Amino acid sequence: MLQPNTPRKTLESWKQIAAFLDRSERTVRRWEENEGLPVHRRSHEKQDTVFAFRHEIEAWRRSRTKCPGDPLAGEPDSLSSSKSPINGYLIEHDAITRTMHCYIAGARAGDSNLMRPAFHPSATISGFCQGVEYSGSIQHVFEWIDKNGPAPAIEPRFARIEVIGTVAVVHLEVQRWSGKLAGANARASDVFTLLRINGQWKITHKLFHWHE
């Protein structure tokens, strides 16, 4: 049973989300499309009934990045200005989240160019799809994403972000994946391995599981 959300915790419309970010509705809708603004939709309702958690919007605002050619890339966020060991965890956690949002943006738009910067050039993929084992170059993912097309209703959730020095593991649950290849409403459980190279987190491996 869902917890009732007080107005303090959630923003319940595009209007409230826009007001919270002090931008127009058009801008925040574009941010959802292109920059991974974490907006959710309630199940069994119209596509346009949205809500957002304040803490997620705030975290996104701190870590906001466009994906390719991002003028904000490399710009220190407010946390990195005080480089104490205590903040080190947060900086890495947020940097990993930024990389993952590039992946999510690419999936949502059906555009591999948006997600490419998230990956190491030698990244690989493994997993089963309808009983067939796939493994090989990450290029297969890019081709799949472009062929599948947009999945505007995807709902990603971070089930795990574990940082151990220069490596990290992310378990991403993605529901409502649609498109020419995904179908109407697919669910994926993906486990990503990331490496921190030259201060940037890059996905080195994607392990996927499509649910029946």
Partner 1 sequence: MSDIEYLPEYDAIASTMQMYVEGSKHGKSELMRPAFHPNASFFGYAGEQLAVGTQFLFDWIDKNGPAPHIEPRMVSVDILETIAVVHLEVAGWSGSLAGSGVRMSDLFTLLKTPNGWKIIQKAFHWHA
61: number of Cβ within 10 Å: 13
From CA 101, how far away is CA 172, in angstroms rounded? Answer: 11
- State the Cα–Cα distance between residues 67 and 56, nearest whole angstrom: 19
Q: How far is the CB of 147 from partner 1 (least distance, A)?
A: 23
Q: What is the phi/psi pair of residue 102, to 5°?
A: -65, -45
- The footprint of partner 1 on residues 43-62 (CB under 8 A) is 43, 53, 55, 59
- Nearest residue (CB) to partner 1, 141 versus 174: 174
Position 83 contacts partner 1 (CB under 8 A): no
For the chain, the three-class secondary structure string (H helix, E strand, C coil) is CCCCCCCCCEECCHHHHHHHHCCCHHHHHHHHHHHCCCCEECCCCCCCCEEEEHHHHHHHHHHCCCCCCCCCCCCCCCCCCCCCHHHHHHHHHHHHHHHHHHHHHHHHHCCHHHHHHHEEEEEEEEEEECCEEEEEECHHHHHHHHHHCCCCCCEEEEEEEEEECCEEEEEEEEEEEEECCCEEEEEEEEEEEEEEECCEEEEEEEEEEECC
**Cβ contact 109:35 at 8 Å:** no
| Cβ nearer to partner 1, comparing 170 with 203 | 170
Residue span 141-180 as binding mask against partner 1, x where in contact by CB under 8 A, dash where not: --------------x-xxxxxx--------x-x-x-----
Q: From the CB of 90, what's the least distance to partner 1, in Å? A: 5
Tell whether residue 196 is a contact of partner 1 (CB under 8 A): no
Nearer to partner 1 by Cβ, of 114 and 154: the residue is 154
Q: Is 108 in the site for partner 1 (CB under 8 A)?
A: no
CB of 113 to partner 1, least distance (A): 28
Among 19, 72, 73, 90, contact with partner 1 (rule: CB under 8 A) = 90
Q: Which of 24, 27, 87, 135 contacts partner 1 by CB under 8 A?
A: 87
Select from 29, 93, 101, 116 the one that contacts partner 1 (CB under 8 A): 93
6-45 mask for partner 1 (x: CB under 8 A)? Answer: --xxx-----------------------------x--x--
Q: Which residues bind partner 1 (CB under 8 A)?
A: 1-3, 5, 8-10, 40, 43, 53, 55, 59, 79, 84, 86-87, 89-90, 93, 155, 157-162, 171, 173, 175, 185, 187, 211
